[in-house]
A and B are shown apart, each in its own frame.
Chain A
Amino acid sequence: MPRPFDEARDQLERQYLDAKFDPASGLSREELLAELERHRTEHPDEPRIITRAWLFHLLCSKARIAVELDDYFADKLEHHNLLVALREEWRREQERKEFKDDPPGIAGAWTAILDAGHTCPDWRNLLKYGLTGLRDRAAARSGVFYQAVAMVYEGAITLSKRFAAALPDSALAALAERPPQSFREALQLAYLYHELQEMEDGYSVRSMGRFDQLYYDFYANDLKAGRLTREQAKELLKYFWVKFLAKTQGKLYGKPFLFGPEVNELSYLAFEVYREMQIVDPKLHVRLAEATPRDFFEQVVGCIQAGCSGIVTVNDAGQVEMLRQNGKTPEDARDYVLIGCYEPAVMGQELNCSGASGVNLAKAVELVLASGDYASFDELMAAYLSTLDAYIALATDKVRREERLWPEVSPSPLLSGTMDSCLEQGLDVSQAGARYNTSGCYNLGLANAADSLAVIRQLVYEQRRCTLTELGAALAANWQGYEELHLTARHRVPKWGNNDDCVDSIAVQITDFLGERINNEPNARGGVFQAALYAIIDSAKAFGKQTGALPDGRLAGEPLTLNTGATTGMDKNGVTSLINSVTKLDLSQFPNGTVLDIMLHPSVAGGAGGIQTICSIIRSHFAQGGMAIQFNIFDAALLREARRHPKKHANLQVRVCGWNVRFADLAPDEQEMFITKAEVG
């Protein structure tokens, strides 16, 4: 019987770092690789999906395992990422062939990749059929695809038996025979599947599904039958959730669990647990609707107030309507989860590939300025939009070519085996077997672009404060020697996020263009592209490095603005004006997701009144058409103190658009960004 969670916590948080794989339990990396080589030599013409399934099965049955007596769940298989290595080998081979004659693009203007990570397996089927049921329904059909699916699930069953033999009292003994019947078995199956999907496809930010809908019956039946107490359920959930934190160590994008809009006793229990644990992973997404009970809403907000920044709240009515308008059936639209950070997709039925492509809205300003003179602002704006148009054409075209390579690079029989549509058609997800096959195109640096264009309009075309050439020279010099113009650009021209139509109207013009241009652009999988408006910190930094100085006053190389927010320190009118600006955009044009980050000072957000204040901010944002919102609550003084004494404030969490982390784990420049933001708020 494992120890109480609180006693075991430190050890549990290090469980993957400290995992000891028993050499007697299986083969070494070299031995596994030798077996793979032998297999590939003996089967030179084997379909790739079979090779992957074969390797999957090999790892499950022969790689080393580690079991801990002090855990409720077994999960550790030393697979050495061999499936991912194989995929990368195939990817390099295919991309070399496909892209070798492509001219070099403009660095930092756009990106396009094969994104097989962003999706959500059909957890409902997994829990309903179990490993055996998913194996059997594939094994009943003939064909390469079904053979591969049956093989990976047979592998998973073999692995379950190995764990069960090594660990007395494991739920896996039962799961090797039948679907889960208890809360503990359901969680064990979910986590084992989670580990196996990472083995198959690498670290990816796939949704863990609608937690309170998926697991309630298991929980309620256990309680009713007297097999489980509420307290025991909380312990199980803590042992389950801590694995996500142990995996990321708080430094990677975490796996989201979804709650609501209908809630049950398990929803309340889960947030109670989350608040007690004070962890940065997993992330919790909450769908809020009219029907969501007020006490649950307040419990969620209480968690946010208490510093659990891994919570994103979502406008349920808005999301469902947006999904419906983008080709989902009403029933599927209601069954959405959020993939990755905030990208809506139908649970278990959609390969939304939300990170497939991205466009740097700020870089286009730089390019337009460098490439000509314009008689009027309208002319310049037209040139700007046509530059975006060209970037989007290049990015989406590259994605289509990548998608055509997908079946030869990364078939995923484990994932496909959960999805009804794949089973019905006999197609892997890489062959567009899922019911919905969409591709994302996210857009970065909205505030930089809108603010820069507003500066050009006002200073060059309206006030004639400088010419376009002079402005170009200032940017080329990274504003050095142009201090007066720099200050004028920064402080004498309205900035995005202050509810000022001068600049907000430009942002509206840009986003309307993006929605019109990107949505419904066909991809290569029978689906369409979907626009997104977010910039996670990694991409804001990476694209920022490749973007020169901008008219908004930003210096060369600085990170781009995050998500839909204002440039750091520029939303001087406060939260209400920021929301009023952002909701001028028609956010339903971004079916691949948007989010707004809000920073609040404890004097506004603290106490019982603070909960009501945060609830009102959320309600107001949604009432005006906002789709998702997330919070940071602290003041600059606390952050400075935490920077000086990281150990004393090891648990201080911040939300960095997309993921939340311990403040102490941030890079110095990221810490500084938060302090600046907190000072203005």
Chain B
Amino acid sequence: MKGRLLNIERMCVHDGPGIRTTIYLKGCPLRCRWCHNPESISSEPEIGFSRSKCVGCGKCAEVCPTGAHVFRDGAHLLNRELCSACGKCVEACLPGALEYYGREMSAEEAGAAVLEDRTFYATSGGGCTISGGEPLWQAPFCAEVFQLLRQEDIHCALDTSGAVPWESFETVLPYTDMFLYDVKHTDDRLHREHTGSSNREVLDNLKRLSECGVPIEIRIATIPGFNADEKSMAAMGEWLSGPPHMVGVRLLPYHLARSKYETVGRPDTMPDVPPPDAAAMAGAAAILQGYGLGAVA
């Protein structure tokens, strides 16, 4: 089976225990305003364009079958409505201004790429993490990759937003050693406003998942003006202190990624707030710790 990937990153140390290889899958049901991977949102392949690297050679326009690349008055325009994401221009772009997001890869190929670094997993207690996007939109692919890796004794973690039907969890559960689970807010109205979706499914799935016995690390992207305040943190702390099998809570500070929006031609939705400082992160962690949660910032 083939999956649609954003990329594969090696030597990851923040996506679960030890040194890990993280497979980023493309496509996500949520539209979080602070998303720092906007190239992962669409489940369709697309072309990334970094204007600063373009030397204006025009090779992309020469090979483009749909005329999506246009040079007008020395400016390079990419008309995304015409672009069929065939990738010919990426091939032709020697300075590396164009990038292909969404290449397809078989589970075997992805598994083999992960296995290259198995010595590092063995010495660090690491393994493989599948992230996204929302990896469970491609749950059968995740299951197949994990199944291959489990045969090789590789630790498998899945990093999910939880905003998927429960059946997707069932597909991967038999092969998953750990879940990294994003929680954004307990208030449904705010959740809808900032992510475009209700939190009902996210929290219901989390409750159900916590009863399956697989370790879960909660991750909270800490966004000033949305959930970084005392009240929001306290509400999440209270909710999270209920379910079993939580191995910890990790707070991830909001950070700016504006240039990436331009790269994929998306309107920039980043909140206009400065990232939280270390003191604010420690404060948020302290609130969660107050609910008996092993929270780290």
Contacts and interface: CB of A to CB of B under 8 A. Distances in A.
A491 B96 contact: yes
A contacts with B: majority SS: helix
B94 interface: yes
B123 A491 contact: no
A574 B9 CA distance: 9
A499 interface: yes
B124 A499 contact: no
Interface in A609-625: 609, 612-613, 615-617, 619-620, 623-624
B261 interface: no
Q: How large is the interface on A (under 10, 10 to 19, 20 to 34, 35 or more residues)?
A: 20 to 34
B119 A624 contact: yes
Interface string B66-94: 00000000000000000000000000001
A613 B123 contact: no
B295 to A, nearest CB: 16
A580 B116 contact: yes
A616 B10 contact: no
A487 B95 contact: yes
Contacts of A613: 13, 19, 124
Contacts of A604: 11, 13
B104 interface: no
B291 interface: no
Contacts of B9: 574
Nearest to A681: B11
A617 B117 CA distance: 11
B94 A484 contact: yes
A181 interface: no
Interface centre among A484, A580, A613, A616 (most CB of B within 10 A): A616
Given A613-B19, A616-B123, A617-B120, A576 B94 contact: no
B94 A492 contact: yes
A487 B123 contact: no
Interface in A540-587: 573-577, 580
B265 interface: no
A597 to B, nearest CB: 16
A499 B123 CA distance: 19
Contact of B11 (A488, A574, A612): A574
A310 to B, nearest CB: 24
Contacts of B117: 576-577, 580
Given A576-B10, A604-B11, A616-B18, A487 B119 contact: no
B119 A577 contact: no
Interface in A435-493: 484, 487-488, 491-492
Contacts, number: 54
B13 A491 contact: no
Given A499-B116, A576-B117, A623 B94 contact: no
A612 B11 CA distance: 13
A574 B13 CA distance: 13
Given A576-B19, A576-B116, A580-B116, A616 B11 contact: no
Interface string A479-515: 0000010011001100000010000000000000000
A620 B116 contact: no
A599 to B, nearest CB: 12
Interface string B1-34: 0000000011101000011010000000000000
Contact of B119 (A484, A491, A575, A623): A623
A492 B93 CA distance: 10
B116 A488 contact: no
B94 A620 contact: no
Given A484-B94, A577-B116, A623-B123, A609 B10 contact: no
Contacts of B94: 484, 487-488, 491-492
B170 to A, nearest CB: 33
Contacts of A488: 94
A77 B124 CA distance: 52
B119 A573 contact: no
Contacts of B116: 499, 576-577, 580
A243 to B, nearest CB: 38
Contacts of A620: 119-120, 122-124
A576 B11 contact: yes
Contacts of B11: 574-576, 604
Nearest to A485: B94
Interface string A166-208: 0000000000000000000000000000000000000000000
Given A574-B11, A576-B11, A616 B120 contact: yes
A616 B95 contact: no
B25 to A, nearest CB: 19
B105 to A, nearest CB: 16
A616 B96 contact: no
B16 to A, nearest CB: 12
B133 to A, nearest CB: 21
Interface centre among B10, B21, B119, B122 (most CB of A within 10 A): B119
Nearest to A499: B116
A612 B95 CA distance: 37
Contacts of A487: 94-95
A580 B115 CA distance: 11
Nearest to A623: B119
A574 B10 CA distance: 7
Nearest to B124: A616
A488 B95 CA distance: 9
Nearest to B9: A574
Interface in B115-160: 116-117, 119-120, 122-124, 126
A424 to B, nearest CB: 45
Contacts of A609: 13
A127 B21 CA distance: 51
Interface in A386-441: none
Nearest to B21: A576
Nearest to A580: B116
A576 B122 CA distance: 13
Contacts of A484: 57, 94
A577 B113 CA distance: 11
A613 B57 CA distance: 43
A487 B95 CA distance: 7
Given A491-B96, A620-B119, A624-B119, A577 B10 contact: yes
A479 to B, nearest CB: 13
Contacts of A576: 10-11, 19, 21, 116-117, 120
Contacts of A575: 10-11
A619 B19 CA distance: 12
A624 to B, nearest CB: 6
Interface in A590-632: 604, 609, 612-613, 615-617, 619-620, 623-624
Interface in B39-55: none
A552 to B, nearest CB: 15
Contacts of B96: 491
Contacts of A624: 119
Contacts of A577: 10, 116-117
A677 to B, nearest CB: 15
Interface centre among B11, B94, B123, B124 (most CB of A within 10 A): B11
A484 B62 CA distance: 15
A12 to B, nearest CB: 37
B110 to A, nearest CB: 15
B46 to A, nearest CB: 21
A54 to B, nearest CB: 57
A624 B122 CA distance: 12
A603 to B, nearest CB: 8
14 contacts: A491-B94, A491-B96, A574-B10, A575-B11, A604-B13, A609-B13, A612-B124, A613-B13, A613-B124, A616-B19, A616-B123, A620-B119, A620-B123, A624-B119
Interface of A: 484, 487-488, 491-492, 499, 573-577, 580, 604, 609, 612-613, 615-617, 619-620, 623-624
Given A580-B117, A623-B119, 7 more contacts: A484-B57, A491-B94, A574-B9, A576-B117, A609-B13, A616-B123, A620-B120
Sorted nearest first, the 5 A-B pairs with minimum C-beta distance are: A487-B94, A616-B124, A619-B123, A616-B123, A620-B119
